[in-house]
Amino acid sequence: MINNFTQKLLVLFLFTGFLATAQDMNSDDQFGVGDRKSEIKLDVFDAAFFSALDISYERVNDTSIGYGVSVFANFRDPKENAAYYEKFAVTPFFRFYFFNKEDFGAKGLFAEVFSKFASGENPDNLNDEYFDAALGLAIGKKWVNRRGFMLEISFGGGRNIGLDDNSPEFTFRGGISLGYRF
């Protein structure tokens, strides 16, 4: 026969064991990346080859949706840097992630819808400055490791809506970015 003290001790051990099992973390997410909702990233391709800075912030809504904004600044004169005719751009975006099998999501293949507000010089006549807005689509792939560091490759484009007669007809979006999820 079990005395009262032993019964209480047995119940306490069973209850503690149940709680410990319920709190067990998934081995794939041992650093809590699934609980992190913000990302900051730098387009290293632009920084290394074009003297341009493209920084993005993305908010992870859930495993399959993210939204954010990119800010682009070209530090070289467009007359010297034929790759970019934009001087400054702000690009809000919305992403849908696909084929996600991991517990911490917002990674893998994605499709993006974006709008871009940019100023720069007309690529056909670099003496004419412009400001315009664009709507576009992009696709890409994002990898996030267990500690929250990430690599992203994306490519897309859009059409300027024609606020300014000097603006180009099309705009580009994409790059190779490194970042961190926090």
Predicted local distance difference test score (pLDDT) of residue 173 = 96
pLDDT of residue 19: 47
pLDDT at 101 over 90: no
Stretch 126-141: mean pLDDT? 93
Is residue 180 a contact partner of residue 150, using CB atoms and an 8 Å limit?
yes
- List the domains of the chain with CATH numbers: 35-181 (2.40.160.20)
Q: Does 106 have pLDDT greater than 50?
A: yes
| Secondary-structure percent of the chain, ordered helix, strand, coil, rounded to 5 | 15, 50, 30
Alpha carbons 19 and 132: distance in angstroms, whole number: 57
Q: How far is residue 28's CA from residue 49's CA, in Å, rounded to a whole number? A: 35
pLDDT at 23 exceeding the cut of 80: no
Q: What are phi and psi of 30, to 5 degrees?
A: -70, -15
